[in-house]
Structure 1
Amino acid sequence: MATDSTKQTSPMVLVDGSSYLYRAFHAIPPMHTSDGHPTNATRGVISMIRSLIKTYPDSPMVIIFDAKGKTFRDEIYSEYKAHRPPMPDDLRPQIEPIHRMVEAMGLPLVIIDGVEADDVIGTIAKQVGEAGREVVVSTGDKDMAQLVTDKVTLVNTMNNTVMDIQGVKDKFGIPPELIIDYLALMGDKVDNIPGVPGVGEKTALALLQGLGSIKEIYTRLDDIASLGFRGSKTMKQKMEDNKEMAELSYNLATIKCDVELPFNSLELKNNDANKDVLKEWFAKLEFKTWLTDLDKAPSVETASDTVGNVSQEQRDGQVKTPAASDLVANYETVLDKDAFNAWLEKIQTAELTAFDTETTSLNYMAAELVGVSFSVEVGIAAYVPFAHDYEGAPEQLDRAWVLEQLKPWLEDDSKAKVGQHLKYDANVLNNYDITLRGIAYDTMLESYVYNSVSSRHDMDTLAKKFLGHTCVSFEDLAGKGKKQKTFNEIDLEQAAFYAAEDADITLRLHQAIWPQVEKTPELVSIFKDIECPLIPVLAKMEQTGALIDPELLHLQSAEIGAKLQELEIKAHEQAGESFNLSSPKQLQVILFEKQGLPIIKKTPKGQPSTAEPILQELALEHELPRLIMEHRTLSKLKSTYTDKLPEMIQKTGRIHTSYHQAITATGRLSSTDPNLQNIPIRSAEGRRIRQAFIAPTGYKLIAADYSQVELRIMAHLSQDKGLLDAFTKDADVHKATAAEVFEVSLEEVTTEQRRRAKAINFGLIYGMSAFGLAKQLGISRPEAAKYIQRYFERYPGVQQYMENTREGAKEKGYVETIYGRRLYLPDIKASNAMMRQAAERTAINAPMQGSAADIIKRAMIKMHHWLADTDLDVKMILQVHDELIFEVAEKDLDAAKEKIVDIMQNSSQIDVPLLVEAGIGDNWDEAH
């Protein structure tokens, strides 16, 4: 049940009714009642509001519309919105019904004369946000991005996107506080805001990112020419000539946040719905489904507000859904053997069982089981607790006995199970000598395969997205921070509902998501042949862990610490004074004011940037930035690896990373605790960290790495004859490219030419421009452009593939890997040029990265099966990028190496050979 405190802490939702109105009208095809009354906008607006209510069940929701007539903006600029067409005839008669239905739903309807809905929303958001409460603004209007703060976020119900401060930066390239300046510089054709003539999106961004706000731009007009964008030389004059227009546009674009309101914003709340009035409107407008919903018995069952020990109702086996939920649920707490045996029979005979564990820790190696939950039918679930040990906890079944009864079912491949992130549950069960089998589905991976970029794939996010349901939060039960309880300390009456809900929602999510996946056979294959079979593979690797040498790491930490002190002394000598190398403010003063180094880029607030790419560029010609960059790199290595890795050794004497299948957009695995993917390989210090990953006595490490796999995939995808020939003949592809680009024979190719060709080969598949290539190779931009042109002349299939891929991505909204994994590109048609170009680069590279991910995953699955059957003493312990690392008994090295290479090279077939290079050593660096 939603308590008063819950309602007061949940966000206030402000709905831009006018934005909803027009978007719904234009998005939904014409609809009419039998007597000809238009209803498409009405249907769309009310549907979006109903959906929002499900998403924010405890939130006050305010619907704001524009008032009729002119506003203060018309007074300061008579041409404001002058180009807007009149309201469509079919839209006008839909406004009154919408207003009346909003009121009947019990939602505050706000219309203030003389101001637009934006200004009312801005004022309420400011007042409520400053009072400390979070605000969600539901709109599709880009102008509203200026309202975003740490308390105010935007949600777009048409595409289910949420925009916080970082979201604004990602979408527009600038923070919320510069959105008004952005709109003022560009102008707005829809609202007829004039802007500055000659300033478009790219120019506006260049000015704002380079100099700061409009106010700051006008104090630094002489600096515009140095920004280097097209037209920068003449932009100073344009800005001077149009200063009044810029200031007018700024005023027009500014959402007014001090509107006089006839109510206290903090007291806005929802009232009970008037079902009789709603019935009248639903009947009149022939919304039959909604009318049926109103006539149904209430679907919400309320739970007791009592807190404490298990209630008698719960002992009788019933725990009911809180009022906040719109899902009918009947949850049972299993406290005796008869009830447990009844559920054991249910799961033994069920076609599919949703299964979940509750534990004391997210660290799978340290986690202890507290209870398990099941669901075999939507709305019906059970929680079996056995380790809630707070004072006064009720008597529970014995954990050892429960696990003994469950072990045959858990280890039975024929008993199909579905879970949310079942790899974690498998790892925890392994601590109790149980091998989880029969993993048929995993809702986290179903969502990931369906669309890897549409949202996060945790249960709470998926429940809101696919079910319109808000799950009970763990923090609501356990608290936050240092005083947060572990699950065994949580009162069973509360814990039981939370645990049973996990199983129930998992089953519901599977029934919602899997039919969407099934519509595309390739996605079914990605799930059933790659992602789902990979769960036990990764679980086994995680359980095995890797051996490290803590003493070597301690020694490296000490050496890096001494080197950091040396670098700090040298930096202070170069600067002529002491300063904090980690302080951006002090760096700005030292580098740009006292050293007089060129300002390459500015922060949104107009300060010289000291970001890593800027320092890298300055380091090419200046010693102090080079020292600072070296200091930063070593400091990060020390804090992330040499200091931290020894602390991560667990009771097994090894470190145990966590591999994540549902994080990257491309299908690549990522890892945390520790993050193995980011250990640098090019620096001596990075290689020394790899030296600390060691083989135990009597064993060696084998590191097997796919060679140039993404280039080989490019050859396969592009079907370029030159590339296909080079790889088929096992030629040195970089040398072959050098011979083509530099127009020399293979024998005449120099080491430098091969290095440049390698940069071209890899650079182009990552969408590198002539500017980027020039920067990397230290050559002029025209020379780099000439190399790229010659490359495409020699490999025309590659250029054709890139063009086809871009066009296909724009048409479909996604690209695909060799095996059919879809990689969606939400920004491929973005109006923001930077975002659109980034999406186009991703479109080129993602099929190669994604295909490489699929290839190594397929190899890992086959390797896992071989390892289970072989008599050789081999363990697969790590996966990093295109590399697999094995721990192998010295007596089995030759046979193991041959088989490992064979499996990796032949697990997938493409139109050129896959080449695997394998090395042997006492440590990872030596084997690589």
Structure 2
Amino acid sequence: MKLLVLDGNSILNRAFYGVRLLTTKEGLFTNGIYGFLTILQKMNAETSPDAVAVAFDLRAPTFRHKEYAGYKANRKGMPEELAQQLPTLKELLVLLGYHLVECEGFEADDILGTLAHQCEKTGDECVLATGDRDSLQLVGPHVTVRLASTKMGQPQVTLYDEAKIKEDYGVTPREMIEIKAIQGDASDCIPGVAGIGPKGAGQLVQAYHNIDYIYAHLDELEIKDGMRKKLEAGKDSAFLSRHLGTIRTDAPIDTNLKNYVPVPGDRAGAARLMAKLEFFSLIEKMGLDVPEPEEVRQEQAVTVAEHTDPAELLNAARKAGRADFIAETEDGALRVLWNRDGVLHTVEDADTLRALFSDESVRKNTHNVKPLCSRLLKDGVRLAGPVFDTLLAAYLLNPSASGYEPARLAREYGAPEPAGELTEAQTAAALMPGLADRLAEKIAENSQTELLDRIEIPLAKVLADMENTGFAVDEDGIRGFGEKLEHRITELQRQVYESVGYEFNINSPKQLGDALFEKLGLPHGKKTKTGWSTGAETLEKLRYDHPAVEMVLDYRALAKLKSTYCDGLLKVIGPDGRIHSSFNQTETRTGRISSTEPNLQNIPVRTELGREMRRFFRARPGWVLVDADYSQIELRVLAHVANDENMIHAFLNDNDIHRSTAAQVFHMPEELVTPLMRSRAKAVNFGIVYGIGAFSLSKNIHVSVAEAKRYITDYLANFSGVDSYMERVVEQAKEDGYVQTLFGRRRYLPELKSSNHNLRAFGERVARNMPIQGTAADIIKIAMIRVRDRLEREQMKSKLILQVHDELIVEAPNEEADRAASLLTEEMQNAVSLSVPMIAEAKTGETWYEAKA
């Protein structure tokens, strides 16, 4: 039999700190439970156990506490947001059929030890899952340890058997106890021998194996006198530490392994509890059948039509004023799964679909409308009339969700679900009427109907048009530029080798660390198991310490430029010579648009070589690019929402806002402000928008923390409206649980309720900057819609082809260039009415580089 034993508290704790803080819409914290379940799933998948036990600590003191008052004396209680999750996790595990094990007077480690010992006696296989290395002492012929952690929300597991412990520590598993006896354990307040750390303890145990031998032969050991004196002084502490650190194998618990075979449990109850926790993807992965509490779960009978009369279906939609459907494209042909009163019809008739999508009177309820718009545009059809997109609605309701699949949304929002066996597309179509209505109600409750109808859905149509149009590129120019970069990269590589004195793999952090810190002897940080840190921040500090460092930084920059942008762009050029990037509306929490394949939002602009890439994005022959971006849009939004008189005055008088800020902060006339002062004021201006602190500002502008703090203090003293806003918006967010933009876009902030200072501080920074960044993102979206609509209204050939943050690019025929530039500027500047003017300036050029010059 194979037994899997989980250290419940340890894994829950690791999961809690490894997964970003999550809450349900009702405010229940869930990240620890979610992380625990993902680790449990991974353990089950990797080990296929016959039996599973989950060990938990009890609050009562253990024998260790009673024998040594200092044991774990420095341990703080669980953060409240973690403590809330423990009873729910236990309830869920029982519902899933697992057996929990607790034992008064003993710790979870001792439960692991006792069950591991039983397996050793019976010859059964035991797998211990924990986040605590203490359990490595239990490894044996029949026992392995899987150290579990969660990084970036994903479960990570490292397997330890006897060979792995010998490889990593140079000792046997039982000798791990002897190491702890000497080095102690600060996290548990186990004292060890004062003055001897992990390295010294490891060397002693590798040489002499245990403290009994060490103390029996202390005068004979080949060690330094200083080490001998420390051991003499710490003898009692060493033996006490070994006693405290030894995991017991005789805890009074049930050791009949058959009693830990999982039972059926209450799978329906588990699913209901997981639905309450909003773990909809896990419900599916775990094969649970009941996704919602019975009191809100509704089923509807759905049938698949054998015969469909498209004309009759269209007439019925016109009469009802709505059509509920899912659109698919297969082999270039558009197919619609159309739900009429619970009957699913497959419609491919082009005339019927053209009539439906062109009908102003029929409301189209669907999921992910952008691909449909894109497909229709290729046939010269524009989606007309009211549209409701369940994907975009769900995104507005919860911009932090991990997914927006229709089935998940139905469970989350209690929409009626179809009975019977259906395909994924049929299920989505079956869900559409109820899901659209339920989400529309929620959107209305949040006062987000206008945000959805006037911004997000119209924007989806604009983005579809932009994707279809694409951006022309100079393929030969990109290829030639890549070849030049390759020559320069090769030359830099040669120079690095020459500077260091030998050849090595510059792309290997370990080999690079050895070259810089071992061979050249440069200052370095702490060495880890994988070697010295060679990250960008580390190397930037050493840039001028040795010529090789700057060469490596240049090498990395050019290698990334070539691989990501030269090689990468060449792979995605379409047959028409244009790049058709995909724009995503539901990726960011602030409402910003992102792009992929390729990510045109990240075309590098900070270096001259990076900016050179823009030379290869060009207008088609006989056309030009018209490029306009907003001037200081986020600062203008800040001036408006904060209603700051000084900042508003500066913008109304068309002052240089950074110079004005410098004059205020440095208490001098604007004409005496130096370029350095203006630069620092600029950093403060933009830093305030992003909730910057004194430490980060000091690093950005290379001043002391005290000086940076003074800049921020003086800034807020002079811009009192901004200061008041920063305090007011955080307090409001704590009360509401979210912040929002001027247009009602929300971001929920469970971090504000955290007992952890760092998480709470993060939440406060987001509360201050999200309304600014999000409003700026909303404004650029409104501008995009206005520009596209105006171009069409005036029947111009010019097309909007790209948006990058606060920048819009229109491709225009030469004869429309001036008119397009004027139109672009007007629509951007009039996209919204604030207490300060919105300023945009358009320039033209045959390439993106020229249009930005």
TM-score using structure 1 length: 0.66
Q: Deviations over 1:832-857 (max 9, x none)?
A: 33333333222222121101001111
Q: Using the alignment, how far apart are the partners of 2:734 and 2:157 within structure 1? A: 22
Check the 8 A contact 1:383/1:499 in 2, yes or no. Answer: no
Q: CA contact under 8 A between 2:358 and 2:383: conserved in structure 1?
A: yes
What secondary structure, in the 3-state scheme, does the structure 2 residue paired with 1:643 have? helix
Can you list the C-alpha shifts for 1:767-826, whole angstroms capped at 9, x where unaligned?
A: 333333332233333333333333233323323322333333333332222222212223
Q: Which amino acid is 1:672 matched to?
A: T
Q: Which residue of 1 aligns with 2:517?
A: 592
Residues 406-417 of structure 1 mapped to structure 2, 5 A cutoff: 406-417=353-364
Match of 1:382 in 2: 344
Unaligned 5+ residue runs, structure 2? 14-28, 78-86, 119-123, 137-144, 159-167, 169-179, 204-229, 274-286, 293-297
Matches within 5 A, 1:305-324: none
Match of 1:553 in 2: 478
1:270 aligned to which of 264, 272, 279: 264
User: Any conservation in 2 of the 1:713–1:851 contact (CA below 8 Å)?
Assistant: yes
Given the alignment, which residue of 516, 530, 541 partners 2:442? 516
> CA offsets per residue over residues 297-323 of structure 1, 9 Å max, x none?
xxxxxxxxxxxxxxxxxxxxxxxx997
8 Å contact from structure 1 (residues 64, 120) kept in 2? no
**Equivalent residue letter for 1:747:** E
Residue equivalent to 1:437 = 384
1:533 aligns with 2:458: yes
Q: Does 1:457 align with 2:427?
A: no
Tell me the equivalent position of 1:577: 502
Measured in 1, the distance between the counterparts of 2:643 and 2:581 equals 38
Q: Please give the per-residue CA displacement for 1:580-633, whole angstroms capped at 9, x wherever unaligned.
A: 111111122112222222224666x58432222222233254432322222222
Cα contact 1:186–1:196 (8 A) shared by 2: yes
Structure 1 equivalent of residue 558 of structure 2 = 634
Cα distance in 2 for partners of 1:550, 1:922 equals 15
Give me the whole-angstrom Cα distance separating, in 2, the residues matched to 1:546 and 1:908: 28
SS in 1 for 2:590: coil
Cα distance change of structure 1 residues 62 and 693 upon mapping to structure 2, 3 Å threshold: same
RMSD between superposed Cα atoms in Å: 5.3
Contact 2:6 2:55 in 1 (8 A): no
Residue 80 of structure 2 corresponds to: none
| Structure 2 counterpart SS, 1:407 | helix
1:118, 1:255 within 8 Å by CA — same for their partners in 2? no
Q: Does structure 1 residue 498 correspond to structure 2 residue 488?
A: no
Change (3 A) 1:909 1:110: same
Q: Distance in 1 between matches of 2:57 and 2:833?
A: 64
Task: Pick from 828, 833, 846 the counterpart of residue 922 of structure 1.
Answer: 846
Secondary structure of 1:552's counterpart equals helix
Q: Is the 8 A contact 2:787 2:823 kept in 1?
A: no
Q: Secondary structure at the match of 2:482?
A: helix
Distance between the aligned counterparts of 2:306 and 2:497, measured in 1? 68
| Counterpart amino acid of residue 422 in structure 1 | V
| Alignment check: 8 A CA contact 1:702 1:897 kept | yes
Contact 1:690 1:923 in 2 (8 A): yes
The AA in structure 2 aligned to 1:358 is E
Opposite residue 796 of structure 1, the aligned amino acid is: S
CA contact (8 A) 1:700 1:887 kept: yes
CA–CA distance in structure 2, aligned partners of residues 607 and 254 of structure 1: 36
Measured against aligned partners, the alpha-carbon deviations of 1:732-791 in whole angstroms (never above 9, x if no partner) come to 111222223333322222223322222222123223333333322333333333333332
Residue 652 of structure 1, CA deviation: 3.4
For residues 779 and 382 of structure 1, do their structure 2 counterparts lie closer, same or farther at Cα, with a shift above 3 Å needed?
A: same
2:696 corresponds in structure 1 to 772
* Per-residue deviation, residues 194-246 of structure 1 (Å, max 9, x unmatched): 5899xxxxxxxxxxxxxxxx9479889xxxxxxxxxxxxxxxx9xx9999799
Instruction: Output the amino acid matched with 1:716.
Output: H
Alpha-carbon shift at residue 123 of structure 1 (Å): 11
1:514 alignment partner AA = A
2:359 pairs with 1:373: no
Tell me the CA shift for residue 903 of structure 1.
Answer: 0.9
More displaced, 782-791 or 682-691? 782-791
Preserved CA contact (<8 Å) 2:98 2:260: no
> Contact 2:103/2:253 (CA < 8 Å) preserved in 1?
no
Which residue is equivalent to 1:317? none
Residues 81 and 247 (structure 1), Cα distance of their counterparts in 2 relative to 1, 3 Å cut: closer
- Alignment match, 1:781: 705
Match of 1:354 in 2: 324
What displacement does 1:262 show? 2.8
* Pairing of 1:138-149 with structure 2 (within 5 A): none
Q: Structure 2 length normalisation: TM-score? A: 0.72
Partner of 1:750: 674
Match of 2:593 among 641, 664, 669: 669
CA distance in 2, matches of 1:162, 1:606: 19
Pair 264,77 (structure 1): closer, same or farther in 2 beyond 3 Å: farther
CA drift at 1:718 = 2.1
How far residue 706 of structure 1 moved from its aligned partner, in angstroms, is 0.3
- Residue by residue over 1:142-185, the C-alpha shift from the partner in whole angstroms, topping out at 9 and shown as x without a partner, is 999x99x999788xxxxxx99434899xxxxxxxx9xxx9xx98
Structure 2 counterpart of 1:164, from 148, 154, 158? 154
* Aligned counterpart, 1:173: none
Structure 1 unaligned runs (5+)? Answer: 1-10, 21-43, 86-94, 155-160, 169-176, 188-192, 198-213, 221-236, 279-288, 291-320, 361-366, 386-398, 473-492
Q: Is the 8 A contact 1:331 1:500 kept in 2?
A: no
Return closer, same or farther for 1:871/1:15 CA change in 2, 3 Å cut-off: same
Q: Which amino acid aligns with 1:519?
A: E
Distance between the aligned counterparts of 1:250 and 1:526, measured in 2? Answer: 61
- Secondary structure of 2:360's partner? coil
Aligned amino acid, residue 424 of structure 2 = Y
Contact kept? 1:354, 1:375, Cα under 8 Å: yes
Alpha-carbon distance in structure 1 between the residues aligned to 2:129 and 2:438: 26
C-alpha separation in 2, matches of 1:547 and 1:871: 22
Corresponding residue of 1:107: 97
Instruction: For 1:323 and 1:917, locate their aligned partners in 2 and report how far apart those are by CA, in whole Å.
Output: 57
Percent identity, aligned pairs only, is 33
Contact (CA 8 Å) 2:300, 2:417: kept in 1 or not? no
Partner of residue 883, structure 1: 807
Report the Cα distance in structure 1 between the residues aligned to 2:661 and 2:147, rounded to whole angstroms: 54
Report the CA distance shift for 1:631/1:449 in structure 2 as closer, same or farther (over 3 A): same
* Partner SS, residue 339 of structure 2: strand
Q: Which one-letter code corresponds to 1:403 in the other structure?
A: A
- Secondary structure of the 1:828 match is helix
Residues 318 and 361 of structure 2 are in contact (CA less than 8 Å); yes or no, is this contact kept in structure 1? no
- Do the aligned residues in 2 keep the contact of 1:601 with 1:614 (CA within 8 Å)? no
1:760 partnered with 2:684: yes
Q: Equivalents in 2 of 1:857, 1:264: separation in Å?
A: 62
CA distance in 2, matches of 1:900, 1:255: 76
Q: Which amino acid aligns with 2:344?
A: A
Q: Which amino acid aligns with 1:596?
A: G
SS at match of 1:619: coil
Match in the other structure for 1:804: 728
1:740 matched to 2:664? The reply is: yes
Does the Cα contact within 8 Å between 1:374 and 1:500 map onto a contact in 2? no
Q: Please state whether the residue corresponding to 2:776 is helix, strand or coil.
A: helix
Distance in 1, matches of 2:749 and 2:373, equals 33
Cα deviation 1:44-99 (Å, max 9, x = unaligned): 99xx99xx9xx99x9999896869998676677678799999xxxxxxxxx9xx99
Could you tell me how far apart the structure 1 residues matched to 2:252 and 2:515 are? 42
Matched letter for residue 533 of structure 1? P
1:877 partner SS: strand
Q: Please name the residue that 2:829 is paired with.
A: 905
- Match of residue 845 from structure 1: 769
Q: Name 2:634's counterpart in structure 1.
A: 710
Are the aligned partners of 2:55 and 2:101 in contact in 1 as well (CA < 8 Å)? yes
For residues 245-264 of structure 1, the aligned pairs below 5 Å read 262-263=256-257
CA shift, 1:354, in A, is 2.9
Aligned partner of residue 625 in structure 2, secondary structure? strand
How many residue pairs align between the two structures?
720
Aligned match of 2:163: none
